[in-house]
Amino acid sequence: MADQSDATRADLLRENVVEKLVARGEIVSDEVERVMRGIPRHLFTPEASLDDAYSAYNAVVTKRNASGVAVSSVSAPQVQAFMLEQADVRPGMRVLEVGSGGLNAAYLAELVGDRGEVTSVDIDAEVTDRAARLLKEYGYPQVRVVTGDAHGGVPDHAPYDRIIVTVGAWDIPVAWITQLVDRGRLVVPLRMRGLMRSVAFQRVGDHLVSTSARICGFVPMQGIGAHESQVLLITGTDEVTLRFDDGLPTEPSLLDNAVRTPRAELWTGVTIRRGVPVDTLQLFMATALPGFCTMSVNPDLDSGLVAPYNRRFSLASVSEDGRNFAYLTPRPAADAAFFEYGVHALGPEAEAFAERVAGFLITWDRKHRGGPGPRIAVYPAGTPDTRLSHPPGSRVLEKAHSRVVLSWPEHPAGRGDSEYASEKEIDRHV
């Protein structure tokens, strides 16, 4: 009787989460709605309670390392929904999934149908054993589960119409391009200067061009594709930590003097309504600022040296000469429905550096706000500049195996706030 009651409750929870995602526009196609309604999510997340399994915006951690850090998970329903929509998987397609959990592979198997193929690869044998067992137990023995480093793709079953990556990637290996059919699609949580976006790419010849990007968070890639960011403790303790994704400043010790100077504060008049996402602002600042990094403050050691709105995560930058640093922070505006953005800076030229950083913020507000975000292209490492499609103002991120080019179309009518997220999301991502 209890089992029947649990099954009925699970059905209701599944219906509720799908209805919520449809209402919010995360699910837009009949196909994705069908598979997310039809497959019992809780069967693939036995580690979780029914409430946790069907939480719309929370992943279920399935494995942690010895330090307690999550190394494998089943993504939140919201993230699975929009990544499936980004992928646009159709019947008869051949699909490679990088990162095995079981549930997403089951969704893919339903989408490709009897004429399609799904291959799921993960570097961790414990993870693939779990995924293969659950897939077989719940009706998807045809999904091919492979243990191996996905840096090389899975050439034995290539080419693929779609490659969907469900772990955070700092780089795009060449195999993910060459094993994709021309005009095929790669969906990958790509880390760019410390910010992660689920980017849908289309293969065009020897490179990739983006079609959409969504803010997301994933456990990081292991194996050859692993990449550690570098941290700088600017006070000699972990009170204030700057995190760099592409290398530390040339002379980090120069910032020791910056913390001994008065803090300059500059408010820009740029306001954003509470509840409006700031993901394009983040990416623009990350690609525009030469010394971009992110800043966090240890609340137990906080002396007030810096005063960000969000102590866990703030956009920051170090000047080219390495002597000044600044960070973006919002404050409640006169109209309580809005935040006003400003810049705090420390260093011998703090006021001038604050003005420079504020200039980029104002440029985003006037030319790119409300726009579609950047066009992102990925070329193999070593591709000469003459073959890159990058208009003036583009930013080229040099990775180990790829060159990532971000360019921003102007959107002068973009001051309208058209998309909404929760205030919690703004707090988390500012």
Span 240-298, pLDDT tens digits: 999 999 889 999 999 988 888 999 999 999 999 998 888 899 999 998 888 999 999 99
- Does residue 290 lie within any of the structural domains? yes
pTM, rounded to two decimals = 0.90
Q: What does the alpha-carbon distance between residue 74 and residue 62 come to, in Å, rounded to a whole number?
A: 7
Mean pLDDT of the chain: 91
Q: What is the DSSP letter of 143?
A: S
206 plus 247 within the same structural domain: no
214 plus 160 within the same structural domain: yes
* pLDDT, position 412: 62
What SS3 state is found at 373?
coil
Task: Provide the pLDDT confidence category of residue 426 given band limits of 50, 70 and 90.
Answer: very low
Q: Is the pLDDT of residue 422 over 60?
A: no
5 a catalytic residue: no
Tell me: the pLDDT tens digits for 89-99? Answer: 999 999 999 99
* pLDDT, position 425: 33
Q: Is the pLDDT of residue 423 over 70?
A: no
Q: Which of 73, 75, 314, 402 is catalytic?
A: 75
- For residue 62, which of 136, 127, 140, 138 has the smallest C-alpha distance? 127
Handedness of CA 181, 184, 186, 192 (dihedral sign): positive
221 plus 300 within the same structural domain: no
Task: Provide the pLDDT confidence category of residue 26 given band limits of 50, 70 and 90.
Answer: very high
Q: Is the pLDDT of residue 415 over 60?
A: no
Q: Is the pLDDT of residue 343 over 70?
A: yes
Question: Which of 173, 206, 225 is the last residue before a domain boundary?
Answer: 225
234 plus 220 within the same structural domain: no
- Does residue 7 lie within any of the structural domains? yes
* pLDDT, position 391: 76
206 plus 334 within the same structural domain: no
Q: Is the pLDDT of residue 418 over 70?
A: no
Q: Does 233 or 3 have the greater pLDDT score?
A: 233
78 plus 178 within the same structural domain: yes
256 plus 178 within the same structural domain: no
Q: Among all chains, which residue has been given the structure tokens 């050859």?
A: 224
- Structural contact between residues 370 and 408, judged by C-beta atoms closer than 8 angstroms: no
- Does residue 332 lie within any of the structural domains? yes
68 plus 211 within the same structural domain: yes
295 plus 342 within the same structural domain: yes
Q: What does the alpha-carbon distance between residue 44 and residue 132 come to, in Å, rounded to a whole number?
A: 11
Share of the chain above pLDDT 90, in %: 78
Question: Which of 176, 210, 225 is the last residue before a domain boundary?
Answer: 225
- Does residue 402 lie within any of the structural domains? no
58 plus 192 within the same structural domain: yes
- Does residue 209 lie within any of the structural domains? yes
- Does residue 389 lie within any of the structural domains? no
146 plus 180 within the same structural domain: yes
What SS3 state is found at 235?
coil
The residue segments making up the domain with residue 36 are 2-225
- Does residue 390 lie within any of the structural domains? no
Q: Is the pLDDT of residue 408 over 60?
A: yes
* pLDDT, position 421: 30
Question: Which of 177, 197, 225 is the last residue before a domain boundary?
Answer: 225
Task: Provide the pLDDT confidence category of residue 382 given band limits of 50, 70 and 90.
Answer: very high
Average pLDDT over residues 26-46: 97
**Rg of the chain's alpha carbons, rounded to an integer?**
22
Q: Is the pLDDT of residue 416 over 70?
A: no
SS3 of 285-347: HHHHCCCEEEEEECCCCCCCCCCCCCCCCEEEEECCCCCCEEEEEEEECCCCCEEEEEEEEEC
40 plus 102 within the same structural domain: yes
